[in-house]
Structure 1
């Protein structure tokens, strides 16, 4: 979408009240500058009176926009209320470095779970590009240095890379067998994600018992240790269970298993693709689809209360100058369930507040650095480059963080999106590259306990990158217009401050299985689609819905289907 098709809204109004203790209370806006996002088409803002709509959507993240688009296309009147001055939530592109034209995906950065059917339904003008490398993992064994390369699709170089690391073909055969089984599980689960919730027993009957046991019933660590012998290979498998999830691989809660499944099930392939133009291109397209269908989007609208009634619910919001109210036959909540309870008047319960676990660092480089292994940087950085993520290192890092210490080394992963999509570099395409680092086992509690822990974590992340390079990363960093290195780091507290996402938890809370337990009540459309709350007129449409999480749009799609079945 180009700026020539854009209708600008007024700047974000910042409402500040004395006594406000959190960015969720009384609809206040988060502190800090609004990101320099790509422009989006908006309608609004509403300026006076009490209005009535079929559906009021609270929050303007990608799921909210999906819901608004589906509902407006079905002929319902829809308004979206977003407290920031732009839509997109965590799926936005920004130019964070003054004087540099690079547009970086500030928070969310890859797309896997968004169904191709959803994109077709909404006629989204979005292209998702495949990465030629799935992953590259530098390793050192005694005086040997190399890298485990997994191609996309896997070929002879992948087999040779496993053989170089492990000395034979057995580990690669185990890898192929395991992921073939997981792929068959994904083929069963993926088609259900845009349908009413299946019961667990119905899916279990379609999946090999060994696979179901390994992924669903027992801690994933057992299966990884039983199936693989190499510490590095084990770690590469385990990392998909730990993105934004603080857990041991043997955690009896199985939150690591649920995270693993979500990272492998998207479109039945589990492929993580790069949105061309950055994450902001996805939400730009969704906002355009919603507005084009007739939905209204109001920015700078800080919602302070949701009051359910016998025939719907009233939503109270503030534009920075005055208070407004709007009623809806249904209200969809795109905010985290923990925040929704506050808006419903239940208060803040610190004991149930989610806690995120990630360290996100964006870099802009003048050039890609050379690797000690001698691998071509254009190959190694094109996919997911694993750092300090051997299985034993992951478990040691978890133990350190659980004891209150920043892990050393911090396990993490690096992605170079500009190798797949140079358009995000603007006029620096060909003379620069972006890098995105995502650190594991950095829970919010570490940074609450020690204000200096963020600097420590960032330095240890940089050290883990330098450990596999033939030159310091600092030598490759670009500088902004003020001469400062182009580095932007975000911990859970930053995500909470910027997005009012409680605890900085990127999934709005622990992920749930994408099916219904066998004894579930599935009497209402909201229950059948996994979007119910304690109030009939209020439904979940965000990442906190069952089958929410990641940039998928599933929460929005499923809430819309429940509304259409009810109204």
Structure 2
């Protein structure tokens, strides 16, 4: 029998976190193997030609970058370009029988004027400034801790050193803070949306799921900015793969890991390919997959089921649609986040309907146009003809809604979502859609069950499981013994680490979990 090939570390999954871990470990001189079941790296952070016969590459799943620390980019020497969006958001609404909206961005004067036009005074704008100045202070203090050993609750509270901010973001439901700070329903809704991305919760959920989601959406880079990756999300993971290989990591595609066994010191990883099975030995296993997937590989008990809550739609348009709001320029409105049916009351109504098992009648969602900031994802011919991409992300669509009939519910929800968008357009969106090489509208929709099937996300949960605050509770401080626990990547096996979104500070396209798993290995 041939001798077992051995590595210092085997990484299960070639998504962005797995590639970050591989690059760090290989750069430190470790012998690293990445096993990826698909025929390419990237996981959910990929760019695809989603529409046959059309030369446009869309970020099919994940689509913006906020949480990827500059520290990782610098450490790994990533060749990556991110661009700022000139406008943060536009939210259309009808007031007094006429269409209007709130445009945030384009400079302080324009934003102040937009708030005054919507609300009739500057009070909401002043409250907005104070609120986001507070979140910016929290971001500047919390974000650097994500790539350090896990702080305790007491340590992180001391780091923030602002009792009112701590209370607002970590102790009481976000809805209480929003309602105490803002009076306008639309403004309240715009703030709340960041708490609901992929998270099914009400503004007053006592579990504070909404607070955790909100925190991760406002702390990126210490500023809360959401940047556009030039070339799409695939450019991010392609750069990571190039860096990992250049450092010496071996990446095998089409290798699906089927089981792993460990005694806490050495491990064996079994995989299959189109031509058969194989086994490799290793000191460390870093799992860039969900905790549920890890449990299956180990043959042990599975964690509680996860449930995703999002509805993703990718589109290609021949032109941007006109808007009903005569003061709004579509190139400005769609350059940031275009909020649809996301007033505060609308969000709560949609949540209640979904909680009762019914798809929201007026589905809340948000749209943005990548190609306005980065036209490189289009062929020169399409760009010259004025084509644009649109990415829509729907809220309050938990996986349970699709369980009985995924296809029928997807179709129903897509029609309702586009109808809600059409309410604010000066022309039907259908009139603007491009057609693919077979004459079909360039439009694709993905439910949580589709993501579970395509990407093996448990319940279609984009964070693998509900997000947690980036600290440990006082009663868990004793569990910080050991490098894996200190870095928030521990499992019940000493040499098996989580390096995906299900790690303590995972979630989003951040690379944080991959970095922290690599640090745990090197810390030993």
TM-score (norm. length: structure 1): 0.90
Give the match for residue 493 of structure 2: 535
Give the match for residue 522 of structure 1: 480
Shift of 1:518: 2.5
- Partners in 1 of 2:338 and 2:220 — Cα distance? 21
Shift of 1:321: 2.2
The answer on 1:176 being equivalent to 2:129 is: yes
| Structure 1 counterpart of 2:347, from 373, 394, 406 | 394
Question: Which region of structure 1 is more displaced relative to structure 2, 390-399 or 140-149?
Answer: 140-149
Give the secondary structure class of the aligned counterpart of 1:367. Answer: coil
Shift of 1:348: 5.3
Contact 1:185 1:207 in 2 (8 A): no
**1:484-503 equivalences in 2 (<5 Å):** 484-503=440-459
**1:338-377 equivalences in 2 (<5 Å):** 338-346=292-300, 352-374=304-326, 375-377=328-330
**1:140-151 equivalences in 2 (<5 Å):** 140-151=94-105
Give the match for residue 429 of structure 2: 473
Contact 1:362 1:488 in 2 (8 A): yes
Shift of 1:142: 2.5
- Partners in 1 of 2:314 and 2:67 — Cα distance? 23
Give the secondary structure class of the aligned counterpart of 2:195. Answer: coil
Contact 1:50 1:324 in 2 (8 A): no
Shift of 1:202: 1.7
- Partners in 2 of 1:49 and 1:348 — Cα distance? 33
Give the match for residue 71 of structure 1: 25
Contact 1:200 1:515 in 2 (8 A): yes
Shift of 1:94: 0.1
Give the match for residue 221 of structure 1: 175
**1:437-476 equivalences in 2 (<5 Å):** 437-451=392-406, 452-476=408-432
- Partners in 1 of 2:225 and 2:198 — Cα distance? 18
The answer on 1:425 being equivalent to 2:378 is: yes
Deviation string, structure 1 residues 129-156 (Cα, Å, up to 9, x no partner): 111100000011132321101105x411
- Partners in 2 of 1:483 and 1:145 — Cα distance? 34
Deviation string, structure 1 residues 226-245 (Cα, Å, up to 9, x no partner): 11000000000000000000
- Partners in 2 of 1:191 and 1:515 — Cα distance? 13
Give the secondary structure class of the aligned counterpart of 2:5. Answer: strand
- Partners in 1 of 2:275 and 2:96 — Cα distance? 66
Contact 1:111 1:275 in 2 (8 A): yes
Contact 1:188 1:207 in 2 (8 A): no
Give the secondary structure class of the aligned counterpart of 2:491. Answer: coil
Shift of 1:311: 2.1
Deviation string, structure 1 residues 498-555 (Cα, Å, up to 9, x no partner): 1111111000001111122233221101010000000001001001111110000000
Question: Which region of structure 1 is more displaced relative to structure 2, 200-209 or 86-95?
Answer: 200-209
| Structure 2 counterpart of 1:512, from 452, 461, 468 | 468
* RMSD after superposition: 1.1
- Partners in 2 of 1:363 and 1:198 — Cα distance? 42
Shift of 1:207: 2.8
Give the secondary structure class of the aligned counterpart of 2:378. Answer: helix
- Partners in 1 of 2:203 and 2:31 — Cα distance? 46
Contact 1:338 1:502 in 2 (8 A): yes
Deviation string, structure 1 residues 314-341 (Cα, Å, up to 9, x no partner): 1110012211111110100000011101
Shift of 1:310: 4.3
- Partners in 1 of 2:383 and 2:88 — Cα distance? 23
Shift of 1:162: 0.5
Give the match for residue 554 of structure 1: 512
Contact 1:303 1:315 in 2 (8 A): yes
Identify the structure with the greater helix proportion: 2
- Partners in 1 of 2:376 and 2:129 — Cα distance? 34
Give the match for residue 189 of structure 1: 142
Give the secondary structure class of the aligned counterpart of 1:157. Answer: helix
Structure 2 residue ranges without an equivalent (≥5)? none
- Partners in 1 of 2:161 and 2:313 — Cα distance? 39
Q: Which runs of 4+ in 1 moved over 4 A?
A: none
Give the secondary structure class of the aligned counterpart of 1:496. Answer: helix
The count of aligned residue pairs is: 516
Shift of 1:79: 0.1
Contact 1:241 1:258 in 2 (8 A): yes
